[in-house]
Chain A
Amino acid sequence: MHNIFLFARREYLETVRKKSFIVMTILLPAMMFGFTVLPSMIASKKSGEVQHIVIATSNPQFADQVREQFEKPSVDDANAQSKGKNSNSAIRNFDVQIDTNVTPQEEDALTQRVNSHEIDGYLWAPPDAVAERKLSYRSRNSGDLETVGELGTAVRQAMLRQTMRSHGASAEEIDQALKPVDVQARKIENGKVTESSGIGTFFSVILLMVLLYVTILMYSMSVMRSVLEEKNSRIFEVLLSTATPKELMAGKILGAAGVGLTQIGIWTLAVTPFAAQAITIGGDQFHLTLSIANMIFFGVFFVLGFVLYAALAAALGAAVNSEQEAQQFQFVIMMPMIVSVIFMTPVILQPHSTMSTVLSLIPFCTPLLMYIRVIVETPPVWQIALSLVLLVGTIYAMLAICSRIYRVGILMYGKRPTLPEIMKWLKYA
C-alpha cells in the first residue's frame, strides 16, 4: 500500500504541476461554452443590418395583415418579453414593402431586384397561389429557414384573422383566441414536482455527459502515454526491483484519477455560483440541474469508469512500443465510449425502455448511460445496484487481465506484439 501511495502521489503531483493541466482546466469549459452557447448568441445578434423584403400579392389588405404579423413581435415573443427575458427573434430587423402588382413582368422585375441586391427576397403570393395555400419566398439565400418559417406563420395568422373577422369577431377576441399556450416540462422526483424544466435536464445531461466522456477518455489516454513514456525510458527495470507491477499500475491509475477528480472539483466550484442563474441557449432558458445527488453519482461513475478504461489504457501502453503503434489499438478503448455517446439521445428520450436498460447494464457503457438514466429519470434501485456490481466485477477482472499484460509488456521491447502473443502473456507465471 505504501508503494501504491508513493506512485500515486508522484503521478498526481507531476500531472497537476504541468502547464497542460492548467490549460485544460480553463480550456475545456471555454470550449464547451464556445460550442453550445456562443453560436446561438452570435446567431441571434447577427441582424444588425436590415433585411429588405417585398410581399407581392394582389390584395393590399391581406398584405398589410401579413406585414403587421411579420414585423411585430409575435404573441409568443411578446409573452416571453413580458416575463423580462430576451428573445432572439425580436432582434431580427426587417423592412417590409408591399407590391400589389402580380404580373409575370413584375415577377421578373422583383427577381432582378433580388439579384442586384436591392432587396433580400420577396414573397410571391398571386391570388391563385393564396387560394391553393402554396406560396413561395424567393431569395438569394434559400437556407434562411427562420425567415421562411416566420413568413409562413405570419401568412397563416393573417389568413386566420381575415376569416375570423369575416365571421364577425372583434380584434381583441381574435388576439385572445390566437394567444399561444405555454406547456412546460417539470420533472417528478421522489413523488414531488420539481422546478427543473425538461430542457434544463436535457442540457444538464448533455453537459455532464460531455464532461464525463472527455475526462474519462482524456485521462485514460494520459495514463497510456505515461506508461509508454516510462517503458521507453526503461524506468521499470529500476522500479521493479523495489515494487510489483500491480503496485505500479495501481499507483498510476489512482494518481490519474486524483488528477481527474481535482479538475472536476475545480470546475464544479467555478460553476456553482452561476448554477442558480438561467442560461440561454437557442432562445430557451434553463437552469442547470446540479443536485448534490447528481454530483455524487457523477463522482462515482467517473471513478469507476475511469479505473475501467485506465486499466485498459495502461495495458495498451505497456504492450506497444510507440504512440503510433498505440493509435492502431486505441479504437478498442474508444469504441464502447463512442457507442455510449451514439445511444445517448435515445436513452435520454426513453430512459426506461428495454434498450436503455440493457445498454446501461453493459459495464463498458454503464458509466455514461446509467448515469444519464440516473439524472433523467431515476431507474429502480436494483438496476443501479446491478449495474454497479457488474461494473465493479468487470473492473476487477480487467485489472487482473491488464496487470498481467502490463507486467509482461513493460519489459518487452522491439516489435509490436500480435494478439495471440498478448494472449500468451496472460499465461506467463
Chain B
Amino acid sequence: MEPSLNSGVINPMDTVELAQVRKSYDKFVAVKDLSLKIAQGSIFGLLGPNGAGKTSTIRMMIGITVPDSGNVRMFGEPFRREHLRRVGYLPETSGLYKKMKVSEQLVLFGQLRGLSTSDALQRAKRWCERMDIAGWMEKKTEELSKGMQQKMQFIATLLHEPEFLIMDEPFSGLDPVNASLLKDVLLELNKQGRTILFSTHRMDQVEKLCSAICLINRGEAVLQGSLKEIKGRYGRSNVQIEYEGADDFLHENGLIQSFNNYGNYVEVRLQPGADSQKLLHMVAERSRVNKFELVEPSLEDIFIDVVGKTDA
C-alpha cells in the first residue's frame, strides 16, 4: 500500500517556495533575502547553528509572522491560511497544555484542524498505540516524561494527515530507541508522498535522511542543493584513520588542512589537491595503522568549511 499524493502530477510542484524573504526585528535582521524551494515528496534539511534564522524562516513559511519583503508560496499558490490544514508543524520546544488530559488535548488539536471529535479520538488512539503511549491517554499531560510529551506533540502534528510536515529539532529529548521510532514513522510518511522539512543544528542526525538541504548562517543561505550534488562537489577529501602510537604526523606536514582527533581515531581533512597516499606512508612510518579510509566530508565539515570562508 503506497498511496502517492503526487500520482498523476507530471511536473511535481514545489511544496514550498520562498522568494527573497526577509525578516528583521528592530535592527537585527533574522532572515536576509532567503530563497529556497522544497520539492514535493522530498525530505529537506534546513540546517544551521543556533540563531541562524531557521525558526524565523519556518514562522514565515506558515504565516505565524509575515515577511518584511519577499514572497511565500505553498502548494503552488501564494500562501493562504487555508493551506495550514494541510501542514503539520512540530515546534522546537514542546508546547502543550499541561493540565489537560492527553486524549482531550489530542482531540482538541484534531478539532482545530477540522476533524470531528470522534474522528480525532480514533486517530489519536491509533497513533498513541503506534508511538507506545497508549497507556497514558487518560493521564494529565504534565505527568508525562519529556520524551513522552515530545511523542505526544508529534502525534498532534500528524492527526490531520498533513501533506507537508515541518519538524523543528524533532529528535531532541528522545532516547535512541524513540528517535529511531520517530524516524521510521517519518520515512514511512515520506514514502506515502508527504513532504518533510527537518530543521536542526544537529546535522549528523538528518544527514542520512535528507535528499536536499539548505545551510543557513546569520540569516543567509550559504549552501543549498541536493545532498549528492553538494557532497560530490567536495569530493572524497576526508580521511578517517584508526591508529596506535604517536600522533605527531598530524602536525608535521603540509597535507592536512584540519583534523578532529579522538585519541586513537582521527578525522582529517586534506589540503586541496593533497595526495592521500603520502599521508598513509607518513602515518605508517610512525604508528600502527588499523584503518585508513577515504570518505565524503560530513555536512558538519562542509558547513564549517563554508562558514569559515564566509566569516573570514
A residues with a Cβ closer than 8 A to B are 3, 6, 10, 14, 230, 233-244, 411, 424, 429
In angstroms, how far is the closest chain B Cβ from the Cβ of A248? 11
Q: Which residue of A lies closest to B88 (CB)?
A: A241
Quick one: which of B66, B95, B98, B111 contacts A238, CB cutoff 8 A?
B95
Residues from 86 to 144 in B contacting A, C-beta threshold 8 Å: 87, 89, 91-100, 108-109, 111-113
Q: A10-B97, A233-B98, A242-B84 are in contact. Are A3 and B65 (CB under 8 A)?
A: no
Find chain A residues with CB under 8 A from B59 CB. 411
Is B156 an interface position by the 8 A CB rule?
Answer: yes
In angstroms, how far is the closest chain A Cβ from the Cβ of B89? 4
A235 CA to B93 CA, complexed, in Å: 9
A238 CA to B110 CA, complexed, in Å: 12
Q: Do B95 and A241 touch (CB < 8 A)?
A: no
Q: Do A14 and B97 touch (CB < 8 A)?
A: yes
Interface of B is mostly: loop
Q: Which residue of A lies closest to B94 (CB)?
A: A234
13 intermolecular pairs with C-beta atoms under 8 Å apart: A3-B112, A6-B108, A6-B111, A10-B97, A14-B100, A233-B97, A234-B94, A234-B95, A236-B95, A238-B89, A239-B112, A242-B109, A243-B112
Quick one: which of B62, B84, B96 contacts A235, CB cutoff 8 A?
B96
In angstroms, how far is the closest chain B Cβ from the Cβ of A236? 7
In angstroms, how far is the closest chain A Cβ from the Cβ of B52? 17
Cβ contacts B149-168/A at 8 Å (1 or 0 each): 00001001100000000000
Find chain B residues with CB under 8 A from A241 CB. 62, 64, 84, 87, 89, 91
Quick one: which of A3, A237, A240, A243 contacts B93, CB cutoff 8 A?
A237
Cβ contacts B248-263/A at 8 Å (1 or 0 each): 0000000000000000
Is B81 an interface position by the 8 A CB rule?
Answer: yes
The 7 A-B residue pairs with the shortest CB-CB distance in the complex, in nearest-first order: A235-B95, A237-B91, A241-B89, A234-B95, A234-B93, A242-B112, A238-B95
A244 CA to B64 CA, complexed, in Å: 8
Q: Which residue of B lies closest to A235 (CB)?
A: B95
Q: Do A238 and B65 touch (CB < 8 A)?
A: no
Find chain B residues with CB under 8 A from A233 CB. 95-98
In angstroms, how far is the closest chain A Cβ from the Cβ of B141? 10
Q: A6-B108, A234-B94, A237-B64 are in contact. Are A242 and B113 (CB under 8 A)?
A: yes
Q: Which residue of B lies closest to A14 (CB)?
A: B99
Residue among A6, A233, A429 facing the most chain B CB atoms (10 A cut-off): A233
Quick one: which of B84, B96, B100 contacts A10, CB cutoff 8 A?
B100
A51 CA to B87 CA, complexed, in Å: 83
Find chain A residues with CB under 8 A from B94 CB. 234
In angstroms, how far is the closest chain A Cβ from the Cβ of B132? 21
Q: Which residue of A lies closest to B62 (CB)?
A: A241
Cβ contacts B66-94/A at 8 Å (1 or 0 each): 10000000000000010010010101111
Q: Do B153 and A238 touch (CB < 8 A)?
A: yes
Find chain B residues with CB under 8 A from A424 CB. 26
A6 CA to B26 CA, complexed, in Å: 35
A-B contact count (CB 8 A): 57
In angstroms, how far is the closest chain B Cβ from the Cβ of A223? 15
In angstroms, how far is the closest chain A Cβ from the Cβ of B177? 25
Q: Do B65 and A237 touch (CB < 8 A)?
A: no
Find chain A residues with CB under 8 A from B100 CB. 10, 14
In angstroms, how far is the closest chain A Cβ from the Cβ of B161? 14
Find chain A residues with CB under 8 A from B153 CB. 238
Quick one: which of B26, B87, B95 contacts A237, CB cutoff 8 A?
B95
In angstroms, how far is the closest chain B Cβ from the Cβ of A315? 18
A233 CA to B93 CA, complexed, in Å: 8
A242 CA to B99 CA, complexed, in Å: 21
Q: Do B108 and A10 touch (CB < 8 A)?
A: yes
Q: Do A6 and B112 touch (CB < 8 A)?
A: yes
Q: Which residue of A lies closest to B153 (CB)?
A: A238
A6 CA to B108 CA, complexed, in Å: 7
Given contacts A6-B111, A235-B96, 12 further A-B contacts (CB under 8 A): A233-B96, A233-B97, A234-B94, A235-B97, A237-B64, A238-B89, A238-B109, A241-B62, A241-B64, A241-B87, A241-B89, A411-B59
Find chain B residues with CB under 8 A from A237 CB. 64, 89, 91-93, 95
Q: Which residue of B lies closest to A10 (CB)?
A: B108
Find chain A residues with CB under 8 A from B108 CB. 6, 10
In angstroms, how far is the closest chain B Cβ from the Cβ of A242? 4
In angstroms, how far is the closest chain B Cβ from the Cβ of A305? 27
A429 CA to B91 CA, complexed, in Å: 23
A367 CA to B60 CA, complexed, in Å: 41
Find chain A residues with CB under 8 A from B89 CB. 237-238, 241
Find chain B residues with CB under 8 A from A411 CB. 59, 64-65
Q: Which residue of B lies closest to A11 (CB)?
A: B97
Q: Which residue of A lies closest to B96 (CB)?
A: A235
A230 CA to B157 CA, complexed, in Å: 18
A374 CA to B66 CA, complexed, in Å: 47
A238 CA to B95 CA, complexed, in Å: 6
In angstroms, how far is the closest chain B Cβ from the Cβ of A232? 10
Residue among A14, A238, A240 facing the most chain B CB atoms (10 A cut-off): A238
In angstroms, how far is the closest chain A Cβ from the Cβ of B26? 8
In angstroms, how far is the closest chain A Cβ from the Cβ of B114? 8
Residue among B81, B91, B113 facing the most chain A CB atoms (10 A cut-off): B91
In angstroms, how far is the closest chain B Cβ from the Cβ of A429? 5
In angstroms, how far is the closest chain A Cβ from the Cβ of B121? 15
Find chain A residues with CB under 8 A from B99 CB. 14
Residue among A6, A242, A424 facing the most chain B CB atoms (10 A cut-off): A242
In angstroms, how far is the closest chain B Cβ from the Cβ of A328? 22
In angstroms, how far is the closest chain A Cβ from the Cβ of B118? 15
In angstroms, how far is the closest chain A Cβ from the Cβ of B100? 7
